[in-house]
Amino acid sequence: SRPRSSLRVLSDAQHSGLTLPTVSHYRLFPKALGRLVAALGVRELHLALTQGFWRTRYWGQPPLQAPAGAELWVWFQPTVTDVDKAWKELSNILSGIFCASLNFIDSTNTVIPTASFKPLGLANGTDHHLLRYAVLPREVVCTENLTPWKKLLPCGSKAGLAVLLKAERLFHSSYHSQAVHIRPICRDASCLAVSWELRQTLTVVFDFFSSGQGKKDWSLFKMFSRTLTDTCPLASQSKVYVDISPKNKEKELLEVSPAPTSVHEAIVQGDKKTYAVYDLLSPSLFNTSRSLNVQLKWKRPQDTEMPIPTLHAQRYVGGYGLQTGEICTLIYNTHPYRAFPVILLETVPWYLRLYVHTLTIITKGKENKPSYIHYQPAQDRRRPHLLEMLIQLPANSVTKITIQFERALLKWTEYPPDPNHGFYVGSSVLSALVPSVTAMKDMDVEQSPLFASLFPSSDGSSYFVRLYTEPLLVNLPTPDFSMPYNVICLTCTVVAVCYGSFYNLLTRTFHVEEPSRGGLAKRLANVIRKLRGVPPL
Amino acid sequence: MAVVFGPGSVPGDLPRPLPFRDVQEMEISVNLRTSVTSRYEMRFRSTTAQEEAALAAATAREADAALHPLQNTALGSLTMYVLPETSSLLPQGTNVYVGKHRSALVRAGGSLAALQARLREVTQVMSFTASSIAAALSDRVPDGQLSPDARRYLKSSLGYEITFSLLNPDPKSHTVDWDIEGAVNRYVKPVLDKLSLVANFSVDSQILYYAVLGVTPRYDKESSSFLLSAHSLPHVINPVEARLGSSAASLYPVLNFLLYVPEHSHSPLYIQDKDGAPVSTNAFHSPRWGGIMVYNVEAPASPQASLPLHVDVDMARVMEVFLAQLRLLFGLSQEEVPPEFLLESPGNEGLADWELDHLLWAHTVENIATVSTTLTSLAQLLDKIGNIVIKDDVASEVYRAVASVQSAVTELSLGHLHGAFQASKEAVTSSERAFFDPSLLHLLYFPDDQKFAIYIPLFLPMAVPILLSLAKIVRETRLRKKEPTKMD
């Protein structure tokens, strides 16, 4: 497999607000987030900051994908009366906590999806008016976002797996995504009390094939320039999983060192996987050497590709010129014999005027009618387009969805800095229950936090996948911003020149000219003669 | 203020027969332009039969408890009971007993003048002094004249957030447990309930791991302990501060109380004062910020004891220190009390009624000063930018602030402390809302000098012929002056 490291840190805390409404005591849960959740009536919060794009086609199904830029979706409590105000306040505070430009979230990029995002924790109702979703595709994620994220961990970056997270290595990668998920969960099996769960995930893709002279071998030290020395004393579990799944029935293609504590087999997202597990809490691991540097070596050079995932998608802008264009989305279902439905959520800014009558969905040369469609047209400068569709994908098919748009003209103050770079259109979201190729057993799923997905799995025959397509970059007709100043300069100069000559004409007195002292040549000659000491002409 | 004379305590040189009224005024000057006038309205009367019975109690504390239902309980009012010189109610050597509520027992002290002087001292302890007013108006006091204590007090605010943080820099060696919820309910809540008149309080707590102090303590061989000297304490807070978590969800000032359990390799840890003696509470406070207490873990009996050590924090000891620091930060220290005074301990509530009044007087004055500063700077902003747009809601907030300040001042001069404080709070809210209105951002307005810069391409070429012809006129007038002499 492509050297891919996926690391998740899980912390769980109890939050008590029972005795006094204004008192709250935090043990592991970070106070900054806890206060936010309590003060603004948040039921569920999902924030992801991502740099780069997850190439599903080549890298396989992501554990938890996020769109490029910043993504925030929040479910509020039913007690919140003014959800828009709470949403605005929340995004402002989060932008302070995570040093991100989340304060640019406003009504022009916020949508209320009806079907794509369901609460992932305990929830009584799913009234989607309590949901807000926004993506900022322009957001650049860097060190200043990672530091506050690390600060939320109970041990910070002082101990445990988090010592590996050095910013200068993490951002030299093909994909970097950090996320915070807060949701209410059952405190125990009987579910009489509710706890808040904070899940922090970090996904990084290192590409050693291109940076490491064609070798795919990797080690922890090579990736992070650190090794693991201890665990966070507060952790109840601290494990490193390495995917060593054999491919094409060929075994022993790769080897890991040192010897793993155990080997774990599980069915993840419809595929049977084998993991080498290093349990950092087991005392035997640090007996031989003081630090753990997991290494993976390929026994012989091989270039087997990842199997193509069952569901993947592609999106691009078509058309030419600066007036009209077309958004094309291609959705692939590579399952050999099973069809399944997928929910597509498309959010398009208001300055691209969508023409819904041009919406065409074509599968295998025939028109494919969506079974559910929800469209909310945009209002200029107030809200974006929202298009949600439930589309049936036949087995082994490609579905092409196209919709045409017209580019609007913006006011000159509405252009962002560097407008010729283009305008981003956020990723569209695909949510689907994908039938698995291998039958899954429910038991496997719950065993470790890595596999206990955020998403509920309905039954053994299918699993939930949420994919994001590429963000789009669209060029809008851009005015010449220096034009007003040029016009001012030009007109002013013309006016001044006219004024000058009129003024001269009106104020000058005219005389009959007396014979002059001579031309320029004569005066020059006189100067030279004077220098030579010869009397002037 | 009511002055009640008990039997046998009426001084001989009273100007008028009881009961009568008297007004005393005193001016406290803060700076050249600001002064505060304090005005005491005194009602002199003799005791009623019920009060006499109450004063016959065995101890001062019992008398105070019995007198409480008979008093005027309005905020800001005081009742003084004058006792005969020979009364056995007060212990030997004390002349004044200040009760839990709004009353005091005062020994007559012979002449009226001596009594007046004593009463003035009592009222200053129980309501306000020149220095407490100066502290409230510290922004306006010239730098040199302010006592160092005045800088310690928290600024008046509509609310405060109190955060208790347990710092455990070494979770490998110590697992620390603290029953903060119980301690807050038992010790902090009664105090805050009482203070709820002054402001809104919210309390929370957190545990921070791997949070270290910014200073490496010095090892002392003699006592085999680690020492933090007083001059290194200012550097202790900075690295911790970054971990405390900002109060993103509200704008109120935060009071931090940190309990620091030193690392295993650095314990026991003691704080030294300026003279090198260890501080008995092992705690210190930082003005307007909060307090830090170092909580040493007893070394295990056997060195082989397995780590981590389990530590249960003795919350009574910790909260005693934190509550004392809280009182200090609110300016409720009793350092200025003259020696012949005896103060009743406020008991479980941690705060006597008159101390609350003390706080309210200071905060009311401070609020009024804040509002006047805010409105003045708003007016200055408007003077600077002529074309700024004042929306109707901003204007109405300004009007409301001015009206509230005026009513606060009136109420204050009438001695209605509660009404004055409420009005001053409203004035602060309105004035801040007006001042921080997003439409009043001065960056929104285009400065005039930049407008001029844009039109330079017009003005400059137009100026050239005008200037040239001016120069020509000057030259010609000079020539014309010379010409007549030439003609001659």
Task: Read off the pLDDT of residues B93-136 as tens digits, 9 standing for 90 and up.
Answer: 777 888 888 888 888 777 778 888 888 888 877 777 777 777 77
A26 touches chain B (CB under 8 A): yes
Is B203 close to A22, i.e. CB distance below 8 A?
yes
Best B207, B243, B251, B464 residue to mutate vs chain A (most A CBs within 10 Å): B207
Residue B315 to chain A, least CA–CA distance (Å): 15
Q: Which residues of A touch B171 (CB under 8 A)?
A: 155, 232-234
Interface of B with A in 148-167 (CB under 8 A): 163
| CB atoms closer than 10 angstroms to residue A285 | 19
pLDDT of res. A17: 27
Closest partner residue to B210 among A24, A97, A155, by Cβ?
A155
Mean local confidence (pLDDT), A158-162? 83
What's the rounded Cα separation, in Å, for the pair A472 and A469?
9
Q: For chain A, what percent of residues have pLDDT higher than 70?
A: 86
B147 touches chain A (CB under 8 A): no
SS3 of A448-493: the string is CCCCCCCCCCCCCCEEEEEEECCCEEECCCCCCCCHHHHHHHHHHH
Q: For chain A, what percent of residues have pLDDT higher than 90?
A: 32
Q: For chain B, what percent of residues have pLDDT higher than 90?
A: 12
Of the ranges A264-273, A524-533, B54-63, the best mean pLDDT one: A524-533
B327 touches chain A (CB under 8 A): no
Is B465 close to A504, i.e. CB distance below 8 A?
yes
- Sequence-ordered list of residues with C-beta below 8 angstroms from that of B207, at least 6 positions apart, any chain: A26, A27, A28, B165, B166, B168, B176, B178
Interface of A with B in 72-131 (CB under 8 A): 93, 96-97
Taking CA–CA distances from A92, the nearest residue in chain B reads B248
For residue B9, give both structure tokens. 């305590």
Q: What is the pLDDT of residues B223-260, one digit of tens each?
A: 888 888 888 888 888 888 888 876 666 778 889 999 99
Of the ranges A154-158, A403-407, B15-19, B233-237, the best mean pLDDT one: A403-407
What's the rounded Cα separation, in Å, for the pair A10 and A237?
9
pLDDT of res. B430: 93
Q: Which residues of A touch B470 (CB under 8 A)?
A: none
**By mean pLDDT, which of A175-179, B309-313, B363-367, B454-458 is the weakest?**
B454-458
Is A36 close to B201, i.e. CB distance below 8 A?
no
Is B209 close to A97, i.e. CB distance below 8 A?
no
A454 pLDDT tier (thresholds 50, 70, 90): low
Backbone angles phi and psi of A82, in degrees to 5: -105, 90
Of the ranges A515-529, B353-367, B414-428, the best mean pLDDT one: B414-428
DSSP secondary structure letters along A245-281: --BTTB--SEEEES--SEEEEEEETTEEEEEEEEETT
pLDDT of res. A211: 64
What's the rounded Cα separation, in Å, for the pair A82 and A79?
9
B454 touches chain A (CB under 8 A): yes
Residue B205 to chain A, least CA–CA distance (Å): 5
pLDDT of res. A119: 87
Q: Which residues of A touch B461 (CB under 8 A)?
A: 492-493, 496-497, 499-500
What's the rounded Cα separation, in Å, for the pair B90 and B9?
14
Residue B444 has pLDDT above 90, yes or no: no
Is A96 close to B455, i.e. CB distance below 8 A?
no
Q: What is the pLDDT of residues A235-253, one digit of tens each?
A: 888 888 888 877 665 556 7
Between B90 and B261, whose confidence is greater?
B261
Residue B344 to chain A, least CA–CA distance (Å): 30
pLDDT of res. B475: 93
Q: Which residues of A touch B453 (CB under 8 A)?
A: none
B245 touches chain A (CB under 8 A): yes
Which residue is associated with the tokens 């009353």?
A: B103
Bridge partners, A24 (sequence order)? B204
Is A97 close to B250, i.e. CB distance below 8 A?
no
Residue A289 has pLDDT above 80, yes or no: no
pLDDT of res. B246: 65
DSSP secondary structure letters along A24-53: EE-SSS-HHHHHHHHHHTEEEEEEEEEES-
A158 touches chain B (CB under 8 A): yes
Closest partner residue to B203 among A23, A496, A507, by Cβ?
A23
B250 touches chain A (CB under 8 A): yes
CB A425 within 8 A of CB A474: yes
- What's the mean pLDDT when you consider all of chain B? 82
Closest partner residue to A488 among B202, B454, B462, by Cβ?
B454
Burial of residue A153, with CB atoms counted within 10 A of its CB: 0-12 exposed, 13-18 middle, 19 or more buried = buried
CB A467 within 8 A of CB A311: yes
Closest partner residue to A26 among B204, B210, B248, by Cβ?
B204
The conformational region for residue B231 under phi > 0 = left, psi -120 to 50 = alpha, else beta, is: alpha
**Residues present in chain A in total:** 537
Torsion of CA A210, A213, A214, A216, to 10 degrees: -90
User: How is residue B129 annotated by DSSP?
Assistant: -
Mean local confidence (pLDDT), B151-165? 84
Closest partner residue to B206 among A26, A234, A499, by Cβ?
A26
Q: Which residues of A touch B246 (CB under 8 A)?
A: 32, 96-97
**By mean pLDDT, which of A38-52, B64-78, B466-480 is the weakest?**
B64-78
Residue B433 has pLDDT above 60, yes or no: yes
What's the rounded Cα separation, in Å, for the pair A146 and A143?
5
Is A492 close to B461, i.e. CB distance below 8 A?
yes
Q: What is the pLDDT of residues B65-84, one digit of tens each?
A: 888 887 777 777 888 888 88
ipTM (interface predicted TM): 0.79
Q: What is the pLDDT of residues A469-506, one digit of tens each?
A: 999 999 998 888 888 888 888 888 888 888 888 888 88
Residue A7 has pLDDT above 60, yes or no: no
Bridge partners, B27 (sequence order)? B37
Q: What is the pTM of this model?
A: 0.83
Bridge partners, A326 (sequence order)? A318, A404
pLDDT of res. B56: 78
Interface of A with B in 3-22 (CB under 8 A): 16, 19-20, 22
pLDDT of res. A1: 33
Q: Which residues of A touch B460 (CB under 8 A)?
A: 496
Residue B199 to chain A, least CA–CA distance (Å): 13
Q: What is the pLDDT of residues A316-358, one digit of tens each?
A: 999 888 889 999 999 999 988 889 999 999 999 999 999 999 9
**By mean pLDDT, which of A1-10, A317-326, A465-474, B295-304 is the weakest?**
A1-10
Residue A67 to chain B, least CA–CA distance (Å): 26
pLDDT of res. A9: 36
The conformational region for residue B282 under phi > 0 = left, psi -120 to 50 = alpha, else beta, is: left
AA identity, residue A504: N
Of the ranges A30-44, A66-80, B132-146, B435-449, the best mean pLDDT one: A66-80
Which residue is associated with the tokens 């202790």?
A: B236
SS3 of B193-210: the string is HHHCCCCEEEEEEEEEEC
Residue B449 to chain A, least CA–CA distance (Å): 16
Between A518 and B376, whose confidence is greater?
B376
DSSP secondary structure letters along B241-297: HTTS---TT--S-EEEEEEE---GGG-SEEEB-TTSPBPTT-EEEETTTEEEEE-PP
Mean local confidence (pLDDT), A362-385? 92
B184 touches chain A (CB under 8 A): yes
